[in-house]
Amino acid sequence: MLMQKYLGALSILLLITMVITRVMLLKKQGIKAMQFGAIDKRDFLIPPFALFYFYCVFANAFNLPGINKEVIFYNEIISWLGVFFCFLGLTFVLYSLVSFKKSFRVGIDVNVAEELITTGVFAISRNPMYVAFGLVLFGEFLIFSSWILLICLVAALWLFHRQVLLEEGFLKKHYGKAYIEYSKRVRRYI
């Protein structure tokens, strides 16, 4: 089980690294990709939640003090399946970041000038990053299977859906008919 725990922690580090690297690369190109909280100030409730979640994963992986590390179930095969979901999610994150091109933003950018992206992974899902994040978090739950990570998974999925609805509202206003036609062709998630 130790290997799966370390791989679970590694997948969180890789996820964070990929997103931060992309934001920094765009910044070098003069693009402000960090738009977090620009429209909805309640977005600032998300970072403490994310930090809490990251700590719970690392506390479970490295046996640090933590909140309720009681395991709901343990099965080696399910734990390895969790590792698979984590790395599948990371693959989707990478594919999404490549497909985004210069349009990647953390939050909603009301001044976006790029065209609507409907190719690459966006031909499969309108929200591939959120699908990817969900896969990683589901994988983490399968690896660690604690009550707190189950609660965090459910809360995160609710937060992702809330953000998707906000973004869709903006995209309908910003791109109009093009976005409406796109949403008829491609599913919200998968």
Give me the CATH number covering residue 90: 1.20.120.1630
Q: How many CB atoms lie within 10 A of CB 66?
A: 15
Is 114 among the domain residues? Answer: yes
Q: What domain count does the chain have?
A: 1
Residues spanned by the domain of 89: 2-185
Give the tens place of pLDDT for each residue, 96-146.
Answer: 999 998 888 887 777 776 789 999 999 999 999 999 999 999 999 999 999
Measure the CA angle with vertex 21, ends 17 and 25; round to 5°: 175
Give the tens place of pLDDT for each residue, 147-176.
Answer: 999 999 999 999 999 999 999 999 999 999
* HEC secondary structure over 48-74: HHHHHHHHHHHHHHHCCCCCCCCECCC
What pLDDT is stored for residue 155 in this prediction? Answer: 95
Give the tens place of pLDDT for each residue, 35-79.
Answer: 777 666 777 778 889 999 999 999 999 999 988 778 899 899 999
Query: For residues 183 and 190, what is the distance between their CA atoms, to the nearest angstrom?
Result: 12
What pLDDT is stored for residue 39 in this prediction? Answer: 65
Is 144 among the domain residues? Answer: yes
Is 190 among the domain residues? Answer: no
